[in-house]
Structure 1
Amino acid sequence: MKVLLYFEGEKILAKSGIGRALEHQKRALSEVGIEYTLDADCTDYDILHINTYGINSHSMVKKAKKNGKKVIYHAHSTEEDFRNSFIGSNQISPLVKKYLVSLYSKADYLITPTPYSKELLEGYGITVPITSISNGIDLNRFERSEEKETKFREYFKIKENQKVIICVGLYFERKGIIDFVELAREMPNYRFIWFGHTPMYSIPKTIRTIVKEDHPVNVEFPGYIKGDIIEGAYSAADLFFFPSYEETEGIVILEALASKQQVLVRDIPVYKGWLKDKVNCYMGNNNEEFANLIEKLVENKIPNTCQAGYSVAKDKSIGRIGHELKNVYEKVLTNDAKEQEDRVHQEN
């Protein structure tokens, strides 16, 4: 079995969750001994596993089907998580949905990160078989490290006993960036750091203004930072606060859980079945609830859920994801073999 992992615009999307999903897929396939290639010109593969939905992605699917290859589409994107993102996203989201349905429907099988996103796709009327498989997490990479934590503290000049709340995400309204800044304004004694970057020309003026100038002094937007500093931040911060309104999974949450960090999220449907309030994380519905929870969590006034959260990350480790992907590949190829056998019987 050989798989062609195709990812259009890899450099552009490298800083997003989808970009990290590709790295996880490569690791996952290596761990279960599945041969893969990233060469779009390769012809000796069995399955096209495609992650993106640009014009070139459409051409790759068409070419694969023409050559009798099986196509598995990794459905990272939905209309719901496209809204409240880029300039004009809400206006064109119905067209994006129509395009996604057309593209996804050409696949032999769909993989999507969570049961929630699976339900959304089924609600679109897509009849292709769909299974939910987490994007996974590299537990070793996010294991707590004194060296990494020191690098984070030194880079940001964190003072002793200073309380730090972090978030990681693109500069999207959907991610809850407005609420993050408003809460920081209400809590001047705490330091709020939002990691991540989105080209300013692509986001609405209201969000550009918030990032560039309209935020209190206790909020920082250091941009996209990778390696030891961000990994140290995940474990050294006092809280990972992710107020997103819509996700298909949220790889950054898995990264925080793998770091044994306390996690606070908005109570939204995507977390149903794997995140549970007051068990492996805390959940809030509005800024009043968030302010109350942030203060109690940072000051250790309520029990932390870090260990239970880590167990969630363990269940979604890259090794386990590799076996789940392998099962889907084998199912697709087995069905293909059965179809060919049935065809021969019919011809005879």
Structure 2
Amino acid sequence: MAKILLFSEGKNLFSKSGVGKALEHQKKALGLNGVEYTLDPDDEYDIAHINTIGLASWRVLRSAKKKKKPVVYHTHTTSEDFRGSIKFSNQLSVIIKFWAKKLYNSADYLISPTNYTKNLISSKYVNNKEIRVISNGVDIKRFSKNEELGRKFREKFGYSDEDIVIISAGLPFQRKGVLDLVEIAKENPEYKFIWFGASSIKNILPKKVKNIIENPPKNVIFPGFVDEEILLGAYSSANLFFFPTYEENEGIVVLEALSMKLPALLRDIPVYEDWLKNKKTCFKGSNNAEFTKHIEYIINNNTSEVTENAYEVARERELSKIGIKYKEYYDYILSKEEN
């Protein structure tokens, strides 16, 4: 049986990002399916599965090539996804694209988390590369409604049972729609908003985003990166999950909300087009006026049919099933390499 090198670099930063969560999911998905893996590039391995695009990743790729080991690159990073994040990200995105293209084209095989990302990579990044679509997945056993954690969450943040609580999660980038959430919060002071994400990075954020995090409206909280139990409590107790991102390659936090049967309000962007349907498995808006209408509808109506349908979408992406897809792809790669 194949042994896989799972490689990600920059653990301190990436551990609090979607890429860090994706690595945790890969480890769990492979473990659930009895696939042996290592995180150490100096170990013996049969396939290198790389998640990041830094210099250490480039060295691992080159080392794998020298050892004649096939390299699978996970296309988490795109120039489009990087824009609107940290200071000077729009200018740096040109370098990100150049470097991502170099690494992705140097790999033997690619994985994209959605059809949207696959199409983006195949049209703008690589030449005639095989790309397999495999979701980052979600731990539906862990991300399951917990009344006790929900109660503790409300107590911790001083919310009453009557308060309408709207949550979001992710690094607080402008690209993620953090400024839009704050604008909606200002217009709806009767609702409570909370954005979970690593606010410890605020010094590398543009000034207007940093100012918002340091001086939010009274009905908005930025608690930063929190323990998973607090996040589970928020998902369990909130009235809705609001994710107004402008660009995404999948959105693990969206899958978590679906798994928790929490109504999800998303921006209507291409990444969700083929697998999340408006008013069937989620709610979609294109601007703040539409978001506000959806918020009012979700709060005042029974959305259980939508959330039950959404849960089925999460179940299709449960980590044990994702592990089977990884295993099938690894087996396919090794059989192809042998021929």
User: Cα distance, 1:302 vs. partner?
Assistant: 6.5
* Structure 2 CA distance for aligned equivalents of residues 187 and 304 of structure 1: 26
Pairing 1:41-80 to 2, within 5 Å after superposition: 41-42=42-43, 44-80=44-80
Q: Structure 2-normalised TM-score?
A: 0.97
* Comparing 112-121 and 222-231, the one that deviates more: 222-231
* Structure 1 CA distance for aligned equivalents of residues 219 and 203 of structure 2: 25
Q: Does 1:208 align with 2:210?
A: yes
* Comparing 226-235 and 295-304, the one that deviates more: 295-304
User: Cα distance, 1:60 vs. partner?
Assistant: 0.5
Q: Which runs of 4+ in 1 moved over 6 A?
A: none
Tell whether the 8 Å contact from 2:154 to 2:161 is kept in structure 1 after alignment. no
Measured on the aligned residues, the alpha-carbon RMSD in Å equals: 1.2
Secondary structure of the corresponding residue to residue 249 of structure 1: coil
Alpha-carbon displacement from aligned partner over 1:97-140 (angstroms, at most 9, x marks no partner)? 11101101111100010000000001125122111110000011
Aligned length: 336
* Comparing 87-96 and 178-187, the one that deviates more: 87-96
* Structure 2 CA distance for aligned equivalents of residues 323 and 301 of structure 1: 36
Residue type of the alignment partner of 1:241: F
* Structure 1 CA distance for aligned equivalents of residues 221 and 182 of structure 2: 9
Secondary structure of the corresponding residue to residue 246 of structure 1: coil
- Per the alignment, residue 146 of structure 1 pairs with 147
Secondary structure of the corresponding residue to residue 305 of structure 1: helix
Residue type of the alignment partner of 1:264: L
Pairing 1:288-327 to 2, within 5 Å after superposition: 288-300=289-301, 305-327=306-328
Tell whether the 8 Å contact from 1:7 to 1:50 is kept in structure 2 after alignment. yes
* Structure 2 CA distance for aligned equivalents of residues 147 and 302 of structure 1: 22
User: Cα distance, 1:272 vs. partner?
Assistant: 1.6
- Per the alignment, residue 135 of structure 2 pairs with 134
User: Cα distance, 1:285 vs. partner?
Assistant: 0.5
Residue type of the alignment partner of 1:270: V
* Structure 2 CA distance for aligned equivalents of residues 158 and 19 of structure 1: 30
Alpha-carbon displacement from aligned partner over 1:40-92 (angstroms, at most 9, x marks no partner)? 211x2100011111111101000110111110011101111011111111112
Tell whether the 8 Å contact from 2:235 to 2:262 is kept in structure 1 after alignment. yes
* Structure 2 CA distance for aligned equivalents of residues 174 and 160 of structure 1: 32
- Per the alignment, residue 156 of structure 2 pairs with 155
Residue type of the alignment partner of 1:120: L
Q: Aligned in 2, Cα 1:182/1:109: closer, same or farther, shift over 3 Å?
A: same
* Structure 2 CA distance for aligned equivalents of residues 15 and 93 of structure 1: 21
* Structure 1 CA distance for aligned equivalents of residues 302 and 325 of structure 2: 40
Q: Structure 1-normalised TM-score?
A: 0.94
- Per the alignment, residue 28 of structure 1 pairs with 29
User: Cα distance, 1:299 vs. partner?
Assistant: 2.1
Tell whether the 8 Å contact from 1:112 to 1:130 is kept in structure 2 after alignment. yes
Give 5+ residue unaligned stretches, structure 2.
Answer: none
> Greater CA radius of gyration, 1 or 2?
1
Q: Percent identity?
A: 48
Q: Aligned in 2, Cα 1:328/1:209: closer, same or farther, shift over 3 Å?
A: same
Give 5+ residue unaligned stretches, structure 1.
Answer: 339-348
Secondary structure of the corresponding residue to residue 142 of structure 1: coil
